[in-house]
Amino acid sequence: MSTTVKFTLLFLALGFCRGLQDEYIDEEEPELVAQDSKYGSLWPLPQKVQISQIPYKLSGSSFRIVDAQMSSAGPSCILLQSAYRRFYEYIFAGAKKQQKNKRTGSSDLRELHVWITSTDSECDGYPKVTSDESYELSVDQPVAILKAPTVWGALHGLETFTQLVYEDEYGAKCINATSISDFPRFAHRGILLDSSRHFLPIKVLLANLETMAMNKFNVFHWHIVDDQSFPYLSRTFPQLSQQGSYQPYTHVYTPSDVKMVIEFARLRGIRVVPEFDTPGHTQSWGKGQKGLLTPCYSGSTPTGTFGPVNPILNTTYEFMTQFFKEISSVFPDAYIHLGGDEVDFTCWKSNPDIQAFMKQQGFGNDYRKLESYYIQRLLNIVAATNKGYLIWQEVFDNGVKLKPDTLIHVWKGNQEQYQNEMANVTASGYQALLSTPWYLNRISYGQDWRGAYKVDPQDFKGTEAQKKLVIGGEACLWGEFVDATNLTPRLWPRASAVAERLWSAKEVTDVNDAYSRLSAHRCRMVARGIPAEPLFSSFCPREYGGF
């Protein structure tokens, strides 16, 4: 082939590729240009905020974060003391070392006083769905005051304080006089990470917990096991990970690993809700627990393959009783996610023993009744451990009898379908979580964060009482195409859009203002060592891996 022909084909190919690129650019959305927001780089936007033009300087040699004299949480509160050190480093990281004998100027802000106002600071406890996360922040000379009923609100207020700090034209740290009153719109603001399709190293989980705290998320939904692998190392049934993990020595979460994740999250005000999904999504379970899964048949002959958990055996429920007794003791949160989604009935239908059981129970050919039979028994087992439970929407759709405090997790359908589901769930008196429009594993060319930002979990036909039953939502990052190499940039700052929707007031919908603040917030994440992907063409003063 001649050189001329080669170049001709190359240019044609480039033109074709460019055409494909143009085809997938979102023509409906106008291009956004970052302009300074009157709210600076606050993210998520507080409920009430007033920022003046009066600047105060912060000197790394003299500024301190300390307990207020009247605070109910003093030096013995390790959670706050570690937070003070962490946020001090956030403020002054990269700043030039200043002489310790430098005199404090009249325009300096010298201290941030943290005042926990409730007699129960919750310092030694774990965050709960009912925890008070509100705070008030006043920045004025000579000290700033952060007031919060509990340590959880104080953690959010400390993050907000650091977001108010900026550098002037000479590189000096400054903060303007500010008044903020803040609280979250929704109590449950979660991120789901999937550690089964690909194993996620502990350092990746911890880095994302840190980033969640930056964005005021408060629930880590740990989808820890699935068909592909069982990395959770059970003390009661160690053979589950020995046989079901990708690698039983390197690709497992030991009891000390799990404890580390839970404590790291607690120190940042984040609940850890584990998910152990059954009766489907359990192929990895069967490798280490023989007899748990249903043998599949072709006619009267076993195929050697297995389907969902076998719901007709007493041994199944004996195993589940012991297993969830362990889970309830390992994970301190009041809730466990029990899954219950995407159960394939094909194998159940092929099994002669299950066919006989269906006839005996009077289920006919409705295998949803068999699924409900299993789920009902499982829910009773978990309820006996004094845990509440979350379940995917199929369990509700199939009419399983549920406890009044059950959380229904909505994930299916288009906009009309999930809005109808939210209406049906809340009309039945159950609390609802929304994830359908926030499956962040689905990616597209362009600024797809805007679609996530425009969603409102309470946007469905229902009464005000129904709307109050929506306690929040979760952004989900499923792991088929995600591992440690790409998880963080794929998740952030796209998940930040969900964070603001779940925290800020319902009226906060200005996409242009959000773009300005989110662009700056993304650079803040980058400066803290988080490889958050760019929103559009731009630059950060401190680039990732650079200066």
Supply the residues annotated as catalytic.
342
CB atoms inside a 10 Å sphere around CB 350: 19
The four Cα atoms 523, 532, 185, 335 give a dihedral, to 10 degrees, of -150
CB atoms inside a 10 Å sphere around CB 341: 15
Strand 143-148 with 135-139, pairing: antiparallel
Distance between CA atoms of residues 228 and 480, nearest Å: 10
Q: Which residues neighbour 204 within 8 Å (Cβ) at sequence distance 6 or greater?
A: 484, 487, 488
Q: Which residues neighbour 214 within 8 Å (Cβ) at sequence distance 6 or greater?
A: 159, 524, 525, 528, 530
Distance between CA atoms of residues 372 and 463, nearest Å: 29
Q: If DSSP codes are grouped into helix, strand and coil, which group holds residue 403?
A: coil
In degrees and rounded to multiples of 5, residue 513 shows phi and psi of: -65, -40
Amino acid code (one letter) for 73: A
Distance between CA atoms of residues 188 and 501, nearest Å: 12
Q: Which residues neighbour 327 within 8 Å (Cβ) at sequence distance 6 or greater?
A: 274, 276, 336
The four Cα atoms 182, 188, 189, 192 give a dihedral, to 10 degrees, of 170
What does the DSSP 8-state code read for residue 37? -
Nearest Cα residue to 226 out of 207, 200, 205 = 200
Distance between CA atoms of residues 493 and 534, nearest Å: 8
In the 3-class helix/strand/coil scheme, how is 311-373 assigned residue by residue?
CCCHHHHHHHHHHHHHHHHHCCCCEEECCCCCCCCHHHHHCHHHHHHHHHHCCCCCHHHHHHH
Distance between CA atoms of residues 421 and 547, nearest Å: 49
Distance between CA atoms of residues 315 and 306, nearest Å: 17
Handedness of CA 374, 378, 379, 381 (dihedral sign): positive
Amino acid code (one letter) for 484: A
